[in-house]
Amino acid sequence: MKAAIVRKRGAHPEYGEFPDPVVTEGRGLVDLVAAGIHPIVRSLATGQHYGSTGSWPLIPGVDAVARTADGALIYTGYVEPPYGTLAERMAVPVGLRVTLPAGADPVAIAGGVNPGLASWLPLRARLQQTAALGTVLVLGATGVAGQLAVQNAFLCGATKVVAAGRNPAALERVSAAGAVVVALTGDHDQDAAALSAAMSGQPPGLVLDFVWGEPAEATFAALQRHGREEDTADIAYVEVGAMAGSVASVPAALLRSRRIGSLAAEPAPSRSPTSWPRHPRTCSASPMGASTPPSASSRSPRWPWPGMPPPRADRGWWWSPADGNLRPRGVRRRRSAMAMAGAARTR
């Protein structure tokens, strides 16, 4: 079959022939319709993600919208390495087939479910622990996952959402959606003061952190308590991503003085579908248009596949098994030889 193939660590993905997937028990073959190029797809392919197998060649891709043998459109994933979803065919678990609602855009679903679930699952888990969400703080609210997190927090009943990030256009979008916005500057004291002011003395019940690094350290400073009276806060901190750095210092006094704990961002794969929204559209279709990348300039330095142009500001990126090209969303097959340069839905 045709597939995108990463032949060794750090190599560019190539369009080529790969053996058909071996269908093991509990799995079935489906055909690709659209697959998202999420940050995890790139970090697994380059071996940087903790879930990487560390062996190549491999087909990248963690999830997809696919067509079953009887013609149904499903959202699916969890393909066994070295296989991935950027391939004509994939063997997916029979238990992981979420039927698309009628009229749903396969491309929006393929691009939006992974970043959408990143907030949806911890929000639902937190709701099971507490009667109400109260205030939710979203760190890195300007990316695809962060913008969807703001939307999902409101959908799940948050009374207030504080959204912190540095991309002004995306901050405007989350502000229009009702969030209290904090423009991060990279200056620790300034960011801590701005976060503290936005929370107005009411610590959040849930922090969804897509960036870690300096913004997380500023948040720890903003959450730090002063005084010895009883603390009523109960803060669940979910580390979802590390776009701003893989390390952040946690002050001892914060852990000593506050009830603050970590909630796992990634539930066991076998449990995931039961806690998903009934329709994947719920967490992937955004009134803010958040299923598209925030800006080309912000993404290009991190794009790990040299030779592949960065995504455009207003487009998603999709891989077409028809000719191996990646094209921006909505752009149909072109005749140019721009291998790996865009995205497309295939049907």
Ligand X SMILES: NC(=O)c1ccc[n+]([C@@H]2O[C@H](COP(=O)([O-])OP(=O)(O)OC[C@H]3O[C@@H](n4cnc5c(N)ncnc54)[C@H](OP(=O)(O)O)[C@@H]3O)[C@@H](O)[C@H]2O)c1
Question: Where do contacts with ligand X occur on this chain (CB under 6 A)?
Answer: 38-40, 114-115, 118, 140, 142-146, 165-167, 184, 210-211, 213, 215, 240-244, 265-266, 293-295, 298-299
Q: Which residue's CB atom is positioned nearest to ligand X?
A: 143
**For residues 15 and 210, which CB has a smaller minimum distance to ligand X in the complex?**
210
CB of 114 to ligand X, least distance (A): 5
Between the alpha carbon of residue 4 and those of residues 69, 115, 299, 315, 318, the distances in Å are 22, 22, 21, 20, 12
CB of 59 to ligand X, least distance (A): 19
CB of 191 to ligand X, least distance (A): 9
Question: Could you tell me if residue 102 is left (phi over 0), alpha (psi between -120 and 50 degrees) or otherwise beta?
Answer: beta
CB of 219 to ligand X, least distance (A): 11
d(CA 165, CA 191) in angstroms, rounded, equals 10
d(CA 339, CA 119) in angstroms, rounded, equals 33
CB of 223 to ligand X, least distance (A): 17
CB of 231 to ligand X, least distance (A): 28
Question: SS3 helix, strand, coil % of the chain, rounded to 5?
Answer: 30, 20, 50
**For residues 118 and 324, which CB has a smaller minimum distance to ligand X in the complex?**
118
**For residues 295 and 320, which CB has a smaller minimum distance to ligand X in the complex?**
295
CB of 128 to ligand X, least distance (A): 18
**Pairing mode of beta strands 317-319, 326-328:** antiparallel
**For residues 40 and 133, which CB has a smaller minimum distance to ligand X in the complex?**
40
Q: DSSP assignment, residue 178?
A: T
Between the alpha carbon of residue 247 and those of residues 7, 8, 46, 214, 254, the distances in Å are 30, 27, 20, 9, 17
- 5 within 8 A of 329, measured Cβ to Cβ: no
CB of 280 to ligand X, least distance (A): 14
**For residues 74 and 243, which CB has a smaller minimum distance to ligand X in the complex?**
243
Q: What is the dihedral of CA 334, 335, 341, 347, to 10 degrees?
A: 40
**For residues 2 and 196, which CB has a smaller minimum distance to ligand X in the complex?**
196
**For residues 9 and 188, which CB has a smaller minimum distance to ligand X in the complex?**
188
Taking the CA atoms of the chain, what radius of gyration do you get in angstroms? 20
**For residues 40 and 91, which CB has a smaller minimum distance to ligand X in the complex?**
40
d(CA 333, CA 105) in angstroms, rounded, equals 18
